[in-house]
A = this chain, B = another copy of it.
Amino acid sequence: MNVVSQMKLFMEPKSVAIVGATRRTGPLSFNIVEKLLDFGFEGKIYPVNPEADQISGLKAYPSAMDIPGPVDLAVIPVWERSSIPDLVRQCTEKEIKAIVVVGQGFADADDEGRALQQELLGIIRGTGARLLGPNSLGVANPSKGLCTAFIDVRMESLPIGLICQSGLFFGGLPASALLGKAIDIANASDIHFAEALQYYEDDPETKLIVLHIEGVRDGRGFIEVAHRVSRKKPIVALKVAKTEQGAQAAQSHTGTLAGRDDIFDAALKQCGIVRAGDIDELADLIKAFLHLPPMRGRRVGIVSISGGAAIMAADACASENLEVARLSAPTEEGLQELSPQWMRATNPLDYWPIGIHSRKSAPEMAKKGVRDFLADSGTDAVIHVPGYYPPQDVSRIAKDFVHVSEAFPEKPVCWWMSGYHAKGVIAEFESQGIDVFPSCERIARVLAKLHQHWQFLQSD
């Protein structure tokens, strides 16, 4: 079986066995059978527990071998590590080819745990089965109602494919929900980044791949696959364990050797993987690569209700090696006609005095500014700092601005909204298709990465 077919058993199973399912139910029972039912999993669910007749209303089997039909995926949610090899053996005897091991205390722990992890690999060797984990929450696929995590997970259906080494991301980090598909490779004893990447590579439901990396075992294999995949779909990565203190902590989390960060950083760049420096940036990059076009150059237009904000935006651009765009003469002249005589209309544009002078409303001036800046061949992107808008006008104003942006699909437009903008107003703008970020610094970081990715795609 090729790796993609094998990964489909994990991600698109028709039947799932929970081998060692708990009989407890309700909050904090960590009952995966119950959770699969709650998520509305479409396929068959087989609880396996020698001491139960049924679990959550489903017939339970004493062992995996007793399950009548074929089983695509087995999840082993048992904490006592010494009992896990026998359960994996059961699964291989049942000829299950995709196995998730949830329990901890393997390569993430002591010598005995490392030996146990090797034992698991020995059991699957030659059987055609592949193993996800140990120490893994398994997989999630919202379009199939599939989530094997024993914790509470809120799933959305964005076209994102996540590969992570910590359950934290099933819990929704950096958003407040699992945004798309997910594969928790955790200790990565068998299934590693390369295999998981190949599943997403041609998956039509996945437009953006997000990685949480503690360490990579087979560097060369990873680079080969990642380099190929990132030409098809953007890959954004949060590489942690980047300091000695972090690497020490990683050793006891997934048993990973984190490697030297500068080498890792160079490898990610070489693969065209866009690296997020922290959790905030990961959230921003996910938003940006889902919604915004590539940035084709470094020249930014700044259209701001506030001169103070314009300064900060210019600073932020400079810090990310972006330029404050030089506008063409006709663009400046058109804006100058509306401006008080003492003001020079240029980039960055503080449109407040223009509005006062020309008696135009703030959204009217803002829209003209954004449109003129986008139309100018000297800009590659626009940062907009909007004024205060009454909540009842937001929906209409947002639609107007989306219309303006749509006329220039090759240039990213980012709004900086914080401070006087109520959270409800921001959410309403976002729901209408405006790409809002909480600070100009975070916008500049995002634009720089959009440009970096564009350069990668242009390179041979």
Q: Check B311–A423 contact: CB distance below 8 A.
A: no
Q: Check B176–A421 contact: CB distance below 8 A.
A: yes
A245 within 8 A of partner (CB): yes
Q: Check A308–B420 contact: CB distance below 8 A.
A: no
Expressed in whole angstroms, the Cα–Cα distance for A248 and B311 within the complex equals: 8
Query: Interface residue count for A (Cβ, 8 Å)?
Result: 84
* Interfacial residues of chain A within 380-426, with CB under 8 A of chain B in the complex: 388, 390, 418-423
Which partner residue on chain B sits nearest A258 by CB separation? B311
Given contacts A307-B108, A311-B214, A441-B279, contact A420 B249 (CB under 8 A): no
A221 within 8 A of partner (CB): no
Interface string of A97-118 (1 = CB under 8 A from B): 0000000110011101100000
Q: Check A315–B242 contact: CB distance below 8 A.
A: yes
Q: Check B317–A245 contact: CB distance below 8 A.
A: yes
Describe A's contact surface by its main secondary structure: loop
A245: which of B79, B306, B315, B438 is its contact (CB, 8 Å)? B315
A249: which of B104, B319, B348 is its contact (CB, 8 Å)? B348
Given contacts A168-B306, A420-B152, A440-B279, contact A324 B252 (CB under 8 A): no
* Interfacial residues of chain A within 167-222, with CB under 8 A of chain B in the complex: 167-169, 171-176, 212, 214
Chain A residues within CB distance 8 Å of chain B: 27-28, 79, 81, 104-105, 108-110, 112-113, 151-154, 164-169, 171-176, 212, 214, 240-246, 248-250, 252-254, 277-280, 306-312, 314-319, 323-324, 340, 342-344, 348, 350, 353, 356-357, 361, 388, 390, 418-423, 438-442
